[in-house]
Amino acid sequence: MQHWSLSVIKPDRRSHRLPAYLAGMFALCFTWLSSPGMAQNPFSPGLSAQNPLSQQPAFLDVDQAFSFYISLDGPDSISVHWTIAPGYYLYADKFSFGITAPANLVTTLIPVLPAGVKTEDEFFGEVSVYYEKTRAVLKLPEKSPEQFTLTIGFQGCAEAGLCYPPTRRDVDITQ
């Protein structure tokens, strides 16, 4: 708990002390307003940094929480490498991969994934999840074109209580 006290000294009427007095009052007010407890609203005593009920966790954007890049492993396979932010996880059974263009090659791709961590999830029960990073290896169809669109689906959550909706991203691939 922070305690504030103010000691006011009556300035004498000499003009050379008034600027120093005003500067001191300004510094005191600035310090008070910039204190952590006053960051949200200096006039709401119930809202402070020390009151955990007044603070909502800040969640990352889905693409910051679950970033990925793609590597071409060879003419017949690619990998999707995931970097998962601390305090977040991806569901192993919520991944989906498919080629969505060109139209004559539309197909679902079955990923090869490492074993995840078994956990009890408040939304889906017992599930397998990934923390920190994971990699999905995808075998491409025979005679894949040089250019195609890979559609990636995934879903994850923040341990602080936010579950993101299923997310899809389209990535144009050139071999």
The structure tokens 């003009």 sit at 15
Q: What number is the average pLDDT over the span 127-155? A: 95
Specify the CATH architecture of the domain 62-174.
Answer: Sandwich (2.60)
Residue 135, classified by CB atoms within 10 Å of its CB into exposed (0-12), middle (13-18) or buried (19+), is middle
**Which pLDDT value is given to residue 45?**
42
**Which pLDDT value is given to residue 54?**
52
pLDDT digits (tens, 9 = 90+) for 68-94: 999 999 889 999 999 999 999 999 999
- The backbone region for 75, taken as left when phi is positive above 0, alpha when psi lies in -120 to 50, beta otherwise, is alpha
Tokens read off for 146: 């040089």
